[in-house]
Amino acid sequence: MKCHKHFLFKKNEKESGVLEVRRGEVVGKQRFNNLNKVPQKKYTELLEEYLKVLKIKGRSEYTIKSCEYHSKYFLEFAGEDLECKQINEELIQNYILYMQEQKQLTNGYTINSYIRNISPVIKFGIKKGYILEDFEMPTVKFQETMKEIYTQDELKFLLEKPKKKNFKEIRTWTIIWVLASTGIRARELRELKVKNIDLLNRVITVNQTKNKKARYIPISNSLAEVLEYYMLLRCGQPDDYLFCSVYNGQMAMTTLQKVVKTYCNERGIEKTSLHLFRHTFITNAVNKNISPVILKSITGHSTFKELNRYYNAKTTDLVTFIDDIAPKMDKKSSYFKKRK
């Protein structure tokens, strides 16, 4: 016979189970109601919140401005009153069609860069629960083309000391030397101060970088002579910008692009891209069998995958190695011998 305590225990256990079920129902209802109470945010409010996070993380001014610019372009399509709950994969697909058809953007790389620059904002909105649909950002597939790097003859023309002796000409000539001799990014070059140049130890200290990691760049003997000549002409204080504007301030990116373009065109060189000097430097370094580890340290790339994107092997470079790789024909017989 079961005792009274046994029945009491069963009764308490049953009541406890009922309470747990009811408690679960209450919690479930609360969670369901919370899901329905999604904060109503506009994209402009989401952007403001995201930019605040970027500033707290110490992201560069360039990154913040780029995010603002591309968001402005996106809102030209979607409307200033765009609400976060309206953002989904279909909207982004329509945005791509808008850029292709209305804005006549045919370059897939450019279109993908516009998508890539608003992607972090949208992912942030999904994480915060402002955007209801979690989706992968669509991109455009396109045929990549080989970038024509500066040839040795073109570099020879550009690096030749200018006949004009004015400061602007010497400044641009020195900029070309630094870009061609170091593979430094244009943004990093603009941030260089006079104190970052150590001619005694032949190193450039790059403190303002894309990935926030400071690095040293070695200075060749030839570049050291060019920098010494320029810095005597520059007469700047340690905290002054190395390549300054006419007002001794930081040179604007547009000014940098313009002076290099003019300099190249005056010498009959049609290629005027600042970034192309980086491609050229990396390609030449690889062709000289420089260690990838050392090259990665100089260029400041985060991964070897990114570094590999900058290598542009020319046909002549490939032909040099192909005989050592491809199968060889038996010299006793040849397809090109005259048949009787």
Higher-pLDDT residue of 93, 147:
93
CB 40 within 8 A of CB 85: yes
Residue 305: predicted pLDDT: 63
Residue 198 pairs in a beta bridge with 203
Q: What is the mean pLDDT of residues 168-196?
A: 94
Which of 4-13, 41-50, 260-269, 287-296 has the least mean pLDDT?
4-13
Residue 240 pLDDT exceeds 90: yes
pLDDT in tens, 73-107: 999 999 999 999 999 999 999 999 999 998 888 88
From start to end of the chain, where are the E strands?
Answer: 197-198, 203-206, 215-218
Mean of per-residue pLDDT scores for the chain: 83
Nearest to 113 by CA among 133, 97, 96: 96
Is the confidence at residue 49, as pLDDT, over 90? yes
Six-digit token string for 132: 């209801």
Q: What share of the chain has pLDDT > 90, as a percent? A: 55
Q: How far apart are alpha carbons 232 and 234 in whole angstroms? A: 6
Cα atoms in the 13 Å half-sphere on the side-chain side of 147: 18
Lowest mean pLDDT among 180-184, 185-189, 312-316: 312-316
257 pLDDT tier (thresholds 50, 70, 90):
very high
pLDDT in tens, 107-128: 888 999 999 999 999 999 999 9
Please tell me the distance from the alpha carbon of residue 254 to that of residue 340, in angstroms, as a whole number: 69
Range 195-203, long-range pairs (CB < 8 A, 24+ positions): 195/238, 195/239, 196/242, 197/227, 197/231, 197/242, 199/224, 199/227, 199/228, 199/231
Residues in contact with 86: Cβ distance below 8 Å, sequence separation at least 6, in sequence order: 78
Q: Which two tokens stand for residue 41?
A: 């945010």
Which domains does the chain possess? 43-128 (1.10.150.130), 152-275 (1.10.443.10)
Confidence of residue 315 (pLDDT cuts 50, 70, 90): very low
Q: Look at 161-175, 295-309, 323-337 and tell me which has the smallest mean pLDDT.
A: 323-337
Residue 323 has pLDDT above 80, yes or no: no
Average pLDDT over residues 185-205: 94
